[in-house]
Amino acid sequence: MTRDHAAVWDNCLQTIRRNVNIQSYKTWFEPIKPVRLINDALTIQVPNKFFYEWLEEHYVALLKMTIRKELGDKGRLEYQILMGALQQQQKASGNKMSDKERSMPGMIDTQSIKNPFVIPGIKKLKVDPQLNPNYVFDSYIEGDCNRLARSAGLAVAKKPGGTAFNPLVIFGDVGLGKTHLGHAIGHEVLRRFPNKTVLYVSSEKFTNQIIESIKNNATNDFINFYQLIDVLIVDDIQFLANKQKTQEIFFHIFNQLHQKGKQIVLTSDRAPKDLDGMEDRLISRFKWGLSADLQAPDLETRIAILEAKMAREGVELSNDVSEFICFNIKNNIRELEGVLVSLIAQSSLNRREIDLNLAKEVIKNFVTQINKEITVDFIQMLVAEHFDVPVDTLAGKTRKRQIVIARQLSMYLAKKLTDKSLKSIGANFGGRDHSTVIYSCNTVQDLLDTDSFFKETVSDLEKKIRMSLNDK
């Protein structure tokens, strides 16, 4: 029976959707187009070589499993790379520009351009990139919360203007590292391409420069200056909302840079589609490239971030102190920095050791309610309730599947959410030894890696444990 390549790929997508998060699915799988199905080989079209390499590096196992599920053991996947897509897109967008857009200045006389980043009257065309020396990739800790954005940022830095990620829009809540990542991209570009002109500018400064250029009747000079930039990084683009003249000028600069193959990096506190007060033609162009979101880091990533900051400050904290801080500061990396600075100040000024008691005092200034301690008993109670089994059976010897899963999951959560030793955790489950706890944790981890429904169940349980404790 002949099978339709589109139908086969649709079936594959249904499986893929259940095994990756929604952002990854939209970014890496929605753009793929099925081309043909010959014998047992499905050919799919991807936008560029980088896209293909990313799929092969991060999703090859999932793709193999999915294809074999649909086409059998001999099923295989072949790629067709859409060459020249970026140039075609630029050409198409250029043809749609209005007469007003085409009439904006395009030719640049580099001898007469004024640089808005230097003191008026000083002739200097060399552009200061305005980058913070502390914000580099080496100090940007990677986790599940930022892996997509960080990887895309590195790809852009390695080949500015030469990937499908143009513009690269990095969005997320306050304090999650958008500005850091923007600066890191700029530094990496300059490290690899010293002759490139890189510029970081906040939307506030950009707006103020436009106002100044209008006052001085120098708008064309302003536009021409920005057209010289090879990599333009604009921070907090949402603040351009409802500023009609600023948006008009930025729109023209964006078009000119994009058509010349220059790289544009934007940061925002929300996704392009949610930018209120922004012209539709700008939002449309923001969607040309990749929109990568930054999410709140998980506990392990927060601890890694704090430890990296401690190392730079030359400070040592005990594990219980660092875990206590990271357990209470959840949604803002800047607050982690603030807590660390406060701890150092309190310790230095009051000559006190940085211990758990001092950390609790400092944390009170940052959170309204300090999380109470999670106990193994509390975890057992909620897990038993979820699986509808008697809590005392978790410490018993029964081998019923439902109880075994509940017992192993309770051990896993106890290891993850408490500071108890393996021996202490085992003691709460009928005196089991540490090797049993390790085996249970590994079993649960294997299920998390292979069963998306079980992973969702565990995530919900973990949230319930934290929320129930805070409600007490």
**Are 156 and 185 a contacting pair, CB within 8 Å?**
yes
CA atoms within 13 A on the CB side of 335: 21
Q: Note the pLDDT of residue 57.
A: 76
**Are 280 and 96 a contacting pair, CB within 8 Å?**
no
> What does 430-465 look like in DSSP terms, one character per residue?
TS--HHHHHHHHHHHHHHHHH-HHHHHHHHHHHHHH
- Residue type (1 letter), 141: I
Strand partners, 145: none
Domains in the chain: ranges and CATH: 5-81 (3.30.300.180), 119-294 (3.40.50.300), 299-363 (1.10.8.60), 376-470 (1.10.1750.10)
Residue 3 Ramachandran class (φ > 0 left, ψ -120 to 50 alpha, else beta): beta
Question: What's the CA gap between 234 and 199, in Å, rounded?
Answer: 8
- Residue type (1 letter), 185: I
Q: Note the pLDDT of residue 114.
A: 58
- For the record, the structure tokens of 47 come out as 């936008």
- Identify the three-state secondary structure at position 168: strand
Q: Note the pLDDT of residue 115.
A: 61
Question: What's the CA gap between 383 and 113, in Å, rounded?
Answer: 68
* β-pairing verdict for 76-81 and 168-172: unpaired
Q: Note the pLDDT of residue 187.
A: 94
Residue in the block written with tokens 């106990």: 375
Question: What's the CA gap between 34 and 46, in Å, rounded?
Answer: 9
Residue in the block written with tokens 């109670």: 381
Residue in the block written with tokens 């187009």: 33
CA 302 from chain centre, in angstroms, equals: 14
Q: Note the pLDDT of residue 89.
A: 44
Q: Give which of 192, 195, 199 is closest to 266, Cα–Cα.
A: 199
**Are 92 and 104 a contacting pair, CB within 8 Å?**
no
For residue 314, with 0-12 CB atoms within 10 Å meaning exposed, 13-18 middle and 19 or more buried, which class applies? exposed
- Residue type (1 letter), 108: I
Q: Note the pLDDT of residue 2.
A: 54
Q: What is the DSSP letter of 374?
A: P
**Are 239 and 207 a contacting pair, CB within 8 Å?**
yes
**Are 130 and 235 a contacting pair, CB within 8 Å?**
no
- Identify the three-state secondary structure at position 315: coil
Residue 217 Ramachandran class (φ > 0 left, ψ -120 to 50 alpha, else beta): left
Q: What is the tens place of the pLDDT at every residue in 374-392?
A: 788 888 888 888 888 888 8
- pLDDT, averaged per 10 consecutive residues of the chain (472 residues), comes to 80 88 81 88 82 80 88 87 49 44 33 51 61 88 85 91 89 86 94 92 90 84 86 92 89 88 92 88 87 83 82 77 77 78 80 80 66 76 87 88 91 86 88 90 89 85 70 46
Q: Note the pLDDT of residue 252.
A: 87
Please, which residues have CB within 8 angstroms of residue 264's CB and are 6 or more apart in sequence?
166, 167, 168, 231, 232, 234, 254, 257, 258, 289
